[in-house]
Structure 1
Amino acid sequence: MTDLRNAVGDRIRAIRKAKGLTQQQLAELSNLDDAYIGAVERGERNFSIDTLEKIVAALNIQPLELFQNMDDLNEVEAAQRGAIDEYAVVVSELSIKQISTLNKIVREVRRAFED
């Protein structure tokens, strides 16, 4: 089971970094100790579902996002996953109107790459 624990810890770290949070900031948001957060990210702690729930709430994500394994991804897929993580952070802070505008911009950029 260590593989799953390590994969979840890696995803917590990746999402935390995409959100621009330090381990200490995540610890404060989740009411956990920063050393504990570090141990979870390194796969050293056998954490409970309650702890995982605190981390998910602090990161403001869906639990499923922690179980998307990146170990089997190639370089391009890993870069895409990182971009998706960062995009999700940006979108989570926008209004519906701003999201609509951002989507229009993304479509225009995509069209520019097709030329």
Structure 2
Amino acid sequence: MSAFLKSVGERIRSIRKAQDLTQEALAEKAGLHYSYIGGVERGDRNISLETLEKIIDALGVLPVEIFLFDYADTEQEQIDKKQVLEALNSLLIGRNLQEVKLVHRLTKDILATIDEQKNL
């Protein structure tokens, strides 16, 4: 198996888990067999672009998100943080631009307050 296919599969697994989807649920949404999803996530399958598109659509993410690999250490804290960030992204993906900008502005204000508290 190639490192690239393994990275794509790991990324799909990570996004799926962040959305609390089972392999079976993702397979059903994508119109694929659940064992096929397992093979994709392990990097055992050299999938077509058409199949990748089905998986991306079923996950409801932008295509670029599948290729945002994290080559850093895979400590549990980093995995947990990544899953939370993906969950936040999933919450925002269906929102309009104004709503996303509002959440961004609020997040910046909250982080500024946290940073101020740290400096006291």
Letter of the 2:5 partner, please give it: R
Residue-pair matches, total: 114
1:67 corresponds to which residue? Answer: 67
Q: Structure 2-normalised TM-score?
A: 0.79
Superposed CA deviations along residues 54-104 of structure 1, whole A, max 9, x for unmatched, are 00111111222111222x224576665434312111112445565455334
- Mapping 1:20-35, distance limit 5 Å: 20-35=20-35
Q: Which residue of 1 aligns with 2:85?
A: 84
Measured in 2, the distance between the counterparts of 1:61 and 1:93 equals 9
Query: How far apart in 1 are the matches of 2:94 and 2:22?
Result: 19
Mark the CA change 1:78 to 1:48 in structure 2 (over 3 Å): closer, same or farther: same
CA deviation after TM superposition for structure 1 residue 37, in Å = 0.4
Letter matched to residue 91 of structure 1: L
Which SS does the other structure have where 1:17 is aligned? helix
- RMSD over aligned CA atoms reads 2.2
- 1:68 partner letter: L
Counterpart in 1 of 2:50?
50
Q: What residue number does 1:109 align with? A: 110
Question: Could you tell me which amino acid in structure 2 is paired with residue 103 of structure 1?
Answer: H
Gaps of 5+ in 2: none
Long gaps (5+) in structure 1: none
AA partner of residue 24 (structure 2): Q
What is the percentage of aligned positions where both structures have the same residue?
33
One-letter code aligned to 2:87: E
* TM-score after normalising by structure 1: 0.82
Give 1 or 2 for the bigger CA radius of gyration: 2
- 1:49 Cα offset (Å): 1.1
Contact 2:61/2:93 (<8 A) preserved: no
